Structure 1
């Protein structure tokens, strides 16, 4: 399923805002029959357009209210070194997002931790204690004005 039609796009738009919606309600919102809607959702999952369905929790209420935005530069630029470091990051639960970037640091990370002590433990465990790391620069969010997981769907 490479080409998405208007019905697929309407389904995706609804699901990315509320994936817990019932198939009946989804079908009504996108103006399709429930069996058609169910079949389309299954195809969107199988094709990889829908990667997963999740609940988004409030970090502060879950005890992880400190968000750190971290830039990491590695000591060397070899692919094997970057791959090994990345594998370590991907295994760390506090690292919520991991991006390889160009023209600056090698990685930009988003970490969610309880407090500064938890950040310091994370930094020692994954960053400053790693011999591959040359430089770490961290920023701490003081407020979140926008957090949106949806992708703009246009045709």
Structure 2
């Protein structure tokens, strides 16, 4: 069952729970229940149903990039556009499977029109980016064009889904 199949099952309380969890997944069940005005057992049951229904994929900690850079070195983030020679489903799936398996690839999107893929990659430095480029792009005979943009400043990062109904 896909999340779209469950759409009718979500009510205002479920949507509020998802919104709260997107903002702060560390909230206790007691605090979540208080904020959505339900009992703690009801809240726990609803959150469990959201997990089981596929509405919640995973819970992660978002690391402050400035603090990480101060401790670990600057780091390099790039937005990379990739165009393939052959765009059949098999070729697209093969390229996607290869790049998503690489730890340096943080995000991978199939896009249209324009390039076939947009990748968000993170590496320690330019030599590491060049190694990634060779490993994933230059060595692939189906890659026709690559255009990389290097981030100099992150203005906004909001890993959330808009839950408002149109």
Partner of 2:16: 10
Partner of 2:103: 93
> Equivalents in 2 of 1:47, 1:65: separation in Å?
37
Structure in which a larger fraction of residues adopt helix:
2
TM-score normalised by the chain length of structure 2: 0.88
Partner of 2:79: 69
Partner of 1:126: 136
Q: Cα RMSD over matched residues?
A: 1.4
By how many angstroms is 1:2 displaced?
A: 2.9
- Answering whether residue 145 of structure 2 is matched by residue 135 of structure 1, we say yes
Aligned mate of 1:43, from 37, 43, 49: 49
- Answering whether residue 5 of structure 2 is matched by residue 23 of structure 1, we say no
TM-score normalised by the chain length of structure 1: 0.94
Match of 2:148, SS? Answer: strand
Partner of 1:56: 62
Partner of 2:162: 152
By how many angstroms is 1:65 displaced?
A: 2.9
> Equivalents in 1 of 2:15, 2:125: separation in Å?
40
Runs of 4+ off more than 6 Å: none
How many residues matched? 155
